Amino acid sequence: MNTNPAVNTGPGMSAAAVDARPPWLLRRLFPLLATVILIVAGMAGTIWGPRYYGKSAWALPDDLWGTMIAAQRLVHLNLGGLYTPPTQLVSLPGAAVILIPVVALIDAAGISLGLPDAHGAFPGTWLLAGPYEVAISAVVLFAANAIGERLGVTRPRRFLLAAASATALWSVTIRWGHPEDAVATGLLLYAILALSEARTGRAAWLAGAAVAVQPLVLLAFPVLVFVVVPRRRPGFLTRAAAPGVLLLAVAAAANWTATIHAVTSQPNSPRIDHPTPWIYLAPHLPDGQVAAGPGRILALVAACGCGLLVRNSWQARETARSAPGPHSAPSAPRATEASGTAGWSPDRLGELLWWTAVALALRSVFEPVMVAYYLWPPLALALIPASRDWTRLLGAGTTAVVLTFFSQIHWHNPWSWWTPMIAVLALTLLLARPRRLRRVDPGRISRRQLNRGGGPGLGGPAQVLPEPGEQFIADGAP
């Protein structure tokens, strides 16, 4: 039985092992501390930080105000105004739904929700909205910690994981004001965790809630769907589609034209944000804007390729696992990890997380107009499998933090900003990539390997690591 309290061995844990785990507060201490520090440091930076470069107005994430106005219209049951100015909402309605509690509190306090300008440089709404958006965005920090525990990551590495993840989260929340991206990514991580524990129904609802908040997570669906057993895919897709379809139908029924235009064209302004080389091929809209929708469809097609690679890799591994080696006896048929009847091994969970990060990174590759926080979702996922050893965590964590702050520079040439950002993002994914494992026939293990591991000599039976049905060793091992 596992006696390390930092390791969550998943659904196969005994009752004694579950009882031996520390309390929830102790197990989630690092993301909790990271959340508190991010709130305090973020609020202090926005209020007093501008004084250090000669400005008196607070440095506020302007994008947050548009989404809060959309949430306020929901509170007042003005569904037809959800996608009309000045909301600038292009996500699904869930992005506004998650802000309803703080907007209701602001309304109850009698505080105005006007857009920040020269006459309202110190809006009191920020004192409530700032901590709230960081608090709900922190779901991604808690999800990363829970998956790290499932992967067997030690507490010191989980501390560094929380620190690096919170630093990267600053760009999404404090700098740009898009908590919907963080909430959706956190729900996606919990969906992956549920899927790894053979809870397909729960995973589908969580994934569907993530899409309803921010459809960018649709890029992860080809990877997730291909690892769900075929007979369960229709139910998985039905549940996952339900929340987003329901919310979008309500909004479209209230104002069809504005809703469909915002959701399908995905307008963005290259004069404000960072144009990329894809801008030359993107459809142009009135007022100098371009449509990001076609580029995101292309990214989704490429994400399907990631899903196929994961499916082929897992199927090949299952075939190799079930086929007896030349020195081993045939084994009886058994359920496989991919079938959903048993929890995944840490290696498989880490591999799926990495491929999901790659799929989310495709948005930045094909986007015609970029904003710095678009780079964040793949970083949040890539850091988790990287945390399984110090070398990968330090490398990926360093590049993720560098990319978070480097991406805030104001370069508008289509090549000068996009090229280095994609290069650093690719480097982060490369550093976070899980180590490849190769199958070893237990009958061919040498005497030296067996004796080094404390096993018997050649005369004894071959010893197998506690993977289901076979033994793996890392590439390059003797």
Find tokens 């997380």 and name the residue. Answer: 353
The pLDDT value recorded for residue 13 is 52
Find tokens 């922190």 and name the residue. Answer: 138
- Greatest pairwise CA separation for the chain in angstroms: 85
Average pLDDT over residues 155-165: 97
The pLDDT value recorded for residue 50 is 87
The pLDDT value recorded for residue 326 is 55
More confident residue, 6 or 214: 214
Which residues make beta-bridge pairs with 470? 467
d(CA 182, CA 36): 16
Which residues make beta-bridge pairs with 284? 290
How many other C-beta atoms can be found within 10 angstroms of the C-beta atom of residue 324? 11
The pLDDT value recorded for residue 436 is 67
Judge whether 443 and 327 are in contact, CB under 8 Å.
yes
**Residue 420 class from Cβ within 10 Å (0-12 exposed, 13-18 middle, 19+ buried)?**
middle
Average pLDDT over residues 223-237: 93
Average pLDDT over residues 241-251: 96
In a domain, 477, yes or no: no
In a domain, 79, yes or no: yes
| For residue 471, pLDDT beyond 80 | no
d(CA 280, CA 278): 5
- Which tokens hold the place of 340? 């959903």
d(CA 361, CA 422): 9
Per-residue pLDDT band for 37 (boundaries 50, 70, 90) equals very high
Judge whether 304 and 222 are in contact, CB under 8 Å.
yes
The pLDDT value recorded for residue 186 is 98
| For residue 331, pLDDT beyond 80 | no
**Residue 183 class from Cβ within 10 Å (0-12 exposed, 13-18 middle, 19+ buried)?**
buried
Q: What is the pLDDT of residues 439-450, one digit of tens each?
A: 544 455 455 544
d(CA 348, CA 287): 47
In a domain, 441, yes or no: no
Per-residue pLDDT band for 431 (boundaries 50, 70, 90) equals very high
> In residues, how long is the chain?
478
In a domain, 470, yes or no: no
Pairing of strands 471-474, 267-268: unpaired
| For residue 146, pLDDT beyond 70 | yes
In a domain, 464, yes or no: no
**Residue 11 class from Cβ within 10 Å (0-12 exposed, 13-18 middle, 19+ buried)?**
exposed
Q: What is the pLDDT of residues 74-120, one digit of tens each?
A: 999 999 999 999 898 999 999 999 999 999 999 999 988 876 665 46
The pLDDT value recorded for residue 265 is 82
| For residue 15, pLDDT beyond 90 | no
In the chain, the amino acid numbered 454 is G
The pLDDT value recorded for residue 412 is 87
- H-run or E-run covering 369: strand 369-370
The pLDDT value recorded for residue 300 is 95
Range of the domain at 134: 23-115+124-322+340-436
pTM: 0.85
| For residue 8, pLDDT beyond 60 | no
d(CA 471, CA 36): 43
The pLDDT value recorded for residue 55 is 84
Cα–Cα distance list, 348 to 182, 193, 242, 313 (Å): 24, 12, 28, 11
The pLDDT value recorded for residue 323 is 65
Percent of the chain surpassing pLDDT 70: 81
Average pLDDT over residues 142-149: 97
Number of domains observed in the structure of the chain: 1
In a domain, 310, yes or no: yes
In a domain, 444, yes or no: no
The pLDDT value recorded for residue 465 is 44
DSSP string of 259-295, one letter each residue: HHHHHHH-EE-TTTSEE-GGGGTSPB-GGG-EE-HHH
Percent of the chain surpassing pLDDT 90: 65
In a domain, 308, yes or no: yes
| For residue 305, pLDDT beyond 80 | yes
| Of the candidate ranges 61-65, 132-136, 206-210, the one whose mean pLDDT is the lowest | 61-65
Question: What are the residues whose beta carbons fall under 8 Å from the beta carbon of 234, sequence distance 6 or more?
Answer: none
| Of the candidate ranges 59-73, 279-293, 418-432, the one whose mean pLDDT is the lowest | 279-293
- H-run or E-run covering 4: none
In the chain, the amino acid numbered 128 is L
Find tokens 């007093």 and name the residue. Answer: 48
Residue 23 is given by DSSP the state P
CA-atom Rg of the chain in angstroms:
24
| Of the candidate ranges 150-164, 238-252, 282-296, 382-396, the one whose mean pLDDT is the lowest | 282-296
Mean of the per-residue pLDDT values of the chain: 85
- Which tokens hold the place of 75? 């509170």
